[in-house]
Amino acid sequence: MGNELSDPVECHSGYEYAERPTALHWQGQRLEIKEIEAQWRIPGGRCFRVRVNDDRRFELFYGELYDEWRINEL
């Protein structure tokens, strides 16, 4: 996914952890997610393409094996 960082992502968890991201922390700022544009599963994790309140877009990957998030600004 390119320039990946291990920044925290806040998410809604119901039946499973990380069902839907709600906010992310990027470069010292907390950014609320306005829209989930796409989501898909890959072996070992979940991916989301999201738009935050200031209209920047990010791709998020949650790796289930290591319980870690990776964030890439698009």
Q: Say if 2 falls within a structural domain.
A: no
Q: What are the tens digits of pLDDT across the range 10-59? A: 988 777 777 899 999 999 999 999 999 999 999 999 999 999 999 999 99
> Structurally, how many domains does the chain consist of?
1
Hunting for tokens 């790796």 — which residue is that? 63
Q: Is residue 47 part of a domain?
A: yes
Three-class SS of residue 72? Answer: strand
Q: Which residue segment(s) compose the domain that 65 sits in?
A: 9-73
Higher pLDDT, 61 or 12: 61
- Is residue 34 a part of any domain in this protein? yes
Does some domain include residue 3?
no
pLDDT band of 1, cuts 50, 70, 90: very low
Give me the amino acid identity at 52.
V
In-domain check, residue 4: no
Which pLDDT value is given to residue 6?
47
**Cα(58)–Cα(71) distance, rounded to whole angstroms?**
7
